[in-house]
Amino acid sequence: MINQDDRNGLAGESVVTVFGATGFLGRRIVTRLLERGVDIRAASRHPHQLRGNASGKRRSRPIEADILDPSSIAAAVAGSRAVVNAVSLYVERDEQTFERVHVEAAANLATASRHAGVERFVQISGIGSDPKSHSDYIRARGRGEEVVKAAFPGAVIVRPAVMAGADDAFISTIARLVPLLPIYPLFGDGHTRLQPVHVEDVADAVSRLVSGQVAIDASIFECVGTRIYSFQELVQEIATELNTRVTLMPVPFPLWRILAAASEGFAAAPLTRTQVDLMRRDNVATSDLPGLEELGIQPRDIVEVIRMIAHEA
Ligand SMILES: NC(=O)c1ccc[n+]([C@@H]2O[C@H](COP(=O)([O-])OP(=O)(O)OC[C@H]3O[C@@H](n4cnc5c(N)ncnc54)[C@H](OP(=O)(O)O)[C@@H]3O)[C@@H](O)[C@H]2O)c1
């Protein structure tokens, strides 16, 4: 378990490089690590999007790096003590394919980290990642886990469930749409089971793993929330928090996929085939892998997060 007396972890020792540091999860990982007294190299393609981030004497230094570019990877990880890969890709565009980003580039980052003498490597993946899946996205996430573990023995995989928090893309979207739509469309029959987790709890878990203050010896951690909802129950819970009634309508998955393919034509696709594929299967913890509790984290009650998001919607 966590050694609570040693809150500094990697403090004073050197730098942690976070790829995807401007993202929904990545920027919270940066904040948590800064609070633990770690200097951060915050890597992304658009580093200016990183808002001022500092804690005490510790700072995050934004650097421009593309995980698809081996030379920028090498420069980003040089001299780092730990590396986190929190890069996402939900829609394939041109050379940005799931295979290139989630498999090849993840392997390249892990290999470059090993060559640079990095001690800890944390790969953010997702619940349900499966190298044998029929979904291109889910299969790439599963293959990504395999190649990272092969390239960096001792790498830790973190699999979050769908993450909730201010400015999330899931619960906030439902909360915005429920008051607008006379009939709310369900993914399939709405029975897919979800276990949303607070994004801050996942960031906390990653910061503990990076800091090495974890006695448990495991290579995969699943980060899930306190409650399991069917999608239908979740929409109803959000409607209740919004003090509104919602009429639900089942919509078959093949129709969702057609809508998602059309939506991917827009630069900021409101719906993607990846989302549809993820909603086809339960997104809950398996029973045999460690998670937040084993890292000494009591997950926040997701109802509080839903309430907060609903009131801000
Ligand atoms: N959000 C969820 O509910 C959820 C659930 C389970 C698992 N996950 C996983 O958690 C991780 C983080 O997800 P997120 O939702 O925080 O993603 P996000 O908000 O979309 O952020 C993605 C980050 O990756 C960076 N990035 C994208 N392409 C890059 C490239 N080629 N080179 C370098 N950086 C790149 C982005 O910055 P630039 O665009 O500036 O490069 C951004 O900082 C992903 O692995 C995701 O699959 C997310």
The domain locations on the chain are 15-162+198-224+284-299
CA 248 to centroid of ligand 1, rounded, Å: 31
How far, in Å, is the centroid of ligand 1 from the Cα of 252?
Answer: 28
CA 45 – CA 55 distance, rounded (Å):
23
89 C-alpha to ligand 1 centroid (Å): 6
pLDDT at 255: 98
pLDDT value of position 12: 46
Q: What is the predicted pLDDT for the residue at 11? A: 44
Q: Which residue type sits at 297? A: I
pLDDT of residue 243: 94
User: Which CATH number is associated with domain 15-162+198-224+284-299?
Assistant: 3.40.50.720
| pLDDT the model gives residue 256 | 97
Instruction: Tell how strand 220-223 and strand 156-160 pair up.
Output: parallel
Burial of 93 per CB tally in 10 Å (0-12, 13-18, 19+):
exposed
> Which residues are CB-neighbours of 275 under 8 A, at least 6 positions away?
90, 260
271 lines ligand 1 (CB under 6 A): no
Residues sharing a CB contact under 8 Å with residue 71, sequence separation 6 or more, in sequence order: none
CA-based Rg of the chain, rounded to a whole angstrom? 19
Mean pLDDT by 10 residues, the chain (313 residues): 37 80 96 93 90 66 96 96 97 95 98 97 97 97 98 97 94 94 97 97 97 84 97 96 96 97 92 96 94 96 88 78
Q: How many CB atoms lie within 10 A of CB 148?
A: 25
Residue 192 · residue 282 · CB < 8 Å = yes
Which own/partner contact pairs does 90-99 have at CB distance under 8 Å and 24+ positions apart? 90/137, 90/269, 90/272, 90/274, 90/275, 91/264, 91/269, 91/272, 91/274, 92/136, 95/68, 96/68, 98/136, 98/137, 98/139, 98/140, 98/141, 99/136, 99/140, 99/143
Ligand 1 pocket, residue 66 CB under 6 Å: yes
What pLDDT is stored for residue 217 in this prediction?
80
Length reported for the chain: 313
pLDDT at residue number 4: 34
pLDDT, position 115: 98
Mutate to test the pocket of ligand 1, among 40, 88, 130, 145 (most ligand atoms within 8 A of CB): 88
115, 83 Cβ separation under 8 angstroms: no
Are the CB atoms for 226 and 304 separated by under 8 Å? no
